[in-house]
Structure 1
Amino acid sequence: MTERTTEHTTITIERHFKAPLPRVFGAWAVAENKRQWFACHGDWTPLEFQLDFRPGGSESNRVASTDGVIHAYQGRYIDIVPNERIIYAFDMMLDDKRISVSLATVTFAPEPAGTTMLFTEQVVFLDGYGDNGSRLMGTEIGFDNLRLYVEADERRPN
């Protein structure tokens, strides 16, 4: 019998981008843009990506790791204020096992040199899943990719 457990934690990451606020927000809001940065492992195989960016809309992303494990992300957008905030809920699965459920809030603010983004994720890890900091690490890698995307010379393709 599987032991049922819950372990709660909060992840907060603040980033400053040398890019205008509409470009940073657009990196989240437009499927073609988000697909270019929303990954934490470049050697994994993409299987599915879908983005319906609106309140009530959904997002899904499935990839296969180098050892064949399917990592699946399924989100639902709850609140969107263009160029100000995004609130969404999502779960993560490894193959057919749900490992976590989260509520995430992303806020954006202009600053003289670009944009400040604050990401807060309230996560519950399920049934003994030992994260050992990998969620934080993967999210930070994704935001490093976001920086590369939004700070790229806009005249060149990304």
Structure 2
Amino acid sequence: MKTRSTDHATFVIERDLRAPVGRAFAAWADPQAKRQWFACHDNWVSLEYDLDFRVAGAEVNRVADADGVVHAYDARYLDIVPDARIIYAYDMKLGDKRISASLATVTFRPTPQGTTMTFTEQVVFLDGYTDDGSRRQGTEILIDNVQAFIEREHEIVH
């Protein structure tokens, strides 16, 4: 018999971006743009990526790590308010084993310098999966990637 368990965590990552809200929001909404920054390990192999950015739409990202283990991300968009917020739920699998389920919220607030983007994740790790902070670390990398992408794209336009 398998041991069943849940381990809850919440974390918040905030960034001040040197770009307007519309550009920041578009980096999350446009499939071509998001695919450019939505990876936390450059040496992993992309197997599948798809983004249907609308309420009730889905996002799928499957990659293989250096050992060939498939990491699968499956999301559903619950709420989208253009240039203000994105709320989605997602689960993660390693191979065939579901390791977590999350609710994520991204908010965008205009500032005199550009945008404050806040990412909040409420995650439950499942059935003995020990995260040891790697989810937050991987998400920090993703948020660094999106910030660099947004600011680079903004500089190209201006």
User: Which TM-score band applies after superposition, normalised by the shorter structure?
Assistant: over 0.9
Structure 2 residue aligned with 1:103: 103
Root mean square deviation of aligned Cα: 1.2
Alignment of 1:17-28 (within 5 A): 17-28=17-28
Structure 2 residue aligned with 1:9: 9
For 2:121, the aligned partner's letter is E
Question: How many Å apart are 1:147 and its aligned residue?
Answer: 1.3
Question: How many Å apart are 1:20 and its aligned residue?
Answer: 1.1
Structure 2 residue aligned with 1:73: 73
Question: How many Å apart are 1:153 and its aligned residue?
Answer: 4.7
Q: SS state of the match for residue 68, structure 2?
A: coil
Question: How many Å apart are 1:154 and its aligned residue?
Answer: 4.2
What CA distance in whole angstroms lies between the structure 2 residues aligned with 1:143 and 1:33? 14
Aligned residues, how many? 157
Deviations 1:15-64 (A, max 9, x none): 11111111110000000000001111011000100000000000000000
Residues 33/153 of structure 1: CA separation in 2 closer, same or farther (3 Å cut)? closer
Q: Which has the higher helix share?
A: 2
What CA distance in whole angstroms lies between the structure 1 residues aligned with 2:21 and 2:2? 46
1:56 aligns with 2:56: yes
For 2:47, the aligned partner's letter is L
1:152 aligns with 2:152: yes
Question: Which segments of 5 or more consecutive residues in structure 2 lack a partner in the other structure?
Answer: none
2:3–2:128: 8 Å Cα contact kept in structure 1? yes
What CA distance in whole angstroms lies between the structure 1 residues aligned with 2:29 and 2:153? 19
* Runs of 4+ residues deviating >4 angstroms: 153-157
What CA distance in whole angstroms lies between the structure 2 residues aligned with 1:41 and 1:2? 31
Q: SS state of the match for residue 151, structure 1?
A: helix
What CA distance in whole angstroms lies between the structure 2 residues aligned with 1:79 and 1:153? 26
Question: Which segments of 5 or more consecutive residues in structure 1 lack a partner in the other structure?
Answer: none
